[in-house]
Amino acid sequence: MILIKNGRVVDAKSNTDGILDVVIDGGKIKTIGKVEDDGSYEQVIDADGCVVAPGLIDVHVHFRDPGQTQKEDVLTGAAAAAAGGYATVICMANTVPTCDTPEIIRYVTDKAKDCPVQVLQAGSVTKGLKGQELTDFDALLKAGAPCLTDDGINLTSAALCRTAMAEAAKRGTLLSFHEEEPSLVPSPGVNYGSAAAKHFGVPGAMASAESAMIGRDIALALDTGARVLFQHVSSAQSVALIRAGKAMGAKIYAEVTPHHLSLTEDDVPAHGTYARMNPPLRKEADRQALIAALADGTLDMVATDHAPHTAEEKAREFAKAPSGITGLETSLALGITSLVRPGHLSLIQLLEKMTINPAKLYHLPYGQLAEGKAADLVIFDENECWTPTEYASLSSNSPFTGTPMYGKVKYTICSGKIVYHD
């Protein structure tokens, strides 16, 4: 058994926030309360000055396995997750080949059995991510896919999208959508018409590319009753549409990334391709709208969109470099630095968006600290300032390298086992 002493236990599910002890027995939480150390524990962790919270959950990561393991694989991605305080992650389907068959889903989940954290693999909505023919939803779900997504590519056909929603609604499964109308993205990775776009000599991606698709899919979700998650929301207009769609009764949800909450288009010239992403960083007014929407519940969760690329790929000129940044190892600290310390969210609100909310949406038995529940925990010092320089991830394409931030993960515990220790 493990005894965690003197920590500030923060759990959004039960609204707990106090100095308590936690006893772990096997893979479950045995006790939360005041516990005496009687010498019978295999390990005692003194968490004085630290927060003890549920292990974090990220519903949007790319581990590039199979097909692009020079960037990341299931094992290195899981190590990065553990280092960032995550106990559960969901991988997107845009692998090579696409996760559009049960065999590829099982390849990832079998490999994940050796991982320090829970790794779930999403299935794709369409075969080969081509947006033309739906996959066998039943087969993918039976193989263990927690959701269906063509992440990285927009479902441009409204008719096909409606059919996918109708089929998903029959099964009660979640569709997770990347929303960008291709015709409104003259060039990806940077905000349209911004000084950064001019600096790199590209037109950029319009904010309306995202909001146009979100508006369409809110209408289709209302029509079909489907459960739809909008990925990495980036603009104020999208926020307003999501707020209105929820008020109309649509079963819609939304995620936002740490980078869209902490950076803007003005930061892109300094970071170059390491700040190139889809959707791009937008204006300060958009960032503020995202923060407000996260605080009021319009945006449901924080997801990293952890997207590793090699240094050689990111060294290309801006127009030819791949989009995306890594994020698992800096996510919690960015939330504390950009949201909690300035007073935009309380710590328990931030943890709600990173634990119980994603667990509820995906019907996962995680995301909370309670007796009898899974012993998935993160222990971190919210006041420790640190600077990321090296990563457990195989890639290091992050604009936050060298940036001081607050909130240092000390331990990650998954299924009762210590899988990371600072």
Catalytic residues: 305
Judged by phi (left if over 0) then psi (alpha if -120 to 50, else beta), residue 330 lies in: alpha
- Neighbour tally for 342: CB within 10 Å: 9
Phi, psi of 271 (to 5 degrees): -100, -15
Q: Look at the chain and count its residues.
A: 422
Cα 422 from Cα 420, distance rounded (Å): 7
- The DSSP bridge partners found for residue 29 are 24
In the block, residue with structure tokens 């819609």: 252
- Neighbour tally for 343: CB within 10 Å: 7
- Please name which of 372, 383, 351, 371 lies closest in space to residue 53, comparing C-alpha atoms: 351
Helices (H) and strands (E) in the chain, counts: 14, 16
**Four-CA torsion 84, 175, 365, 234, nearest 10 degrees:** 40
Encoded amino acid at 342, one letter? P
In the block, residue with structure tokens 């700040």: 275
Q: The tokens of 363 are what?
A: 């019907």
Q: The tokens of 87 are what?
A: 């106990």
Q: The tokens of 398 are what?
A: 């992050």
Cα 291 from Cα 341, distance rounded (Å): 13
Cα 252 from Cα 246, distance rounded (Å): 6
Positive or negative, the CA dihedral 163, 279, 83, 355 is negative
Any idea what the Cα angle at residue 412 is, between residues 406 and 413, rounded to 5°? 155
- Please name which of 330, 294, 295 lies closest in space to residue 407, comparing C-alpha atoms: 330
64 with 379: CB under 8 angstroms?
Answer: no
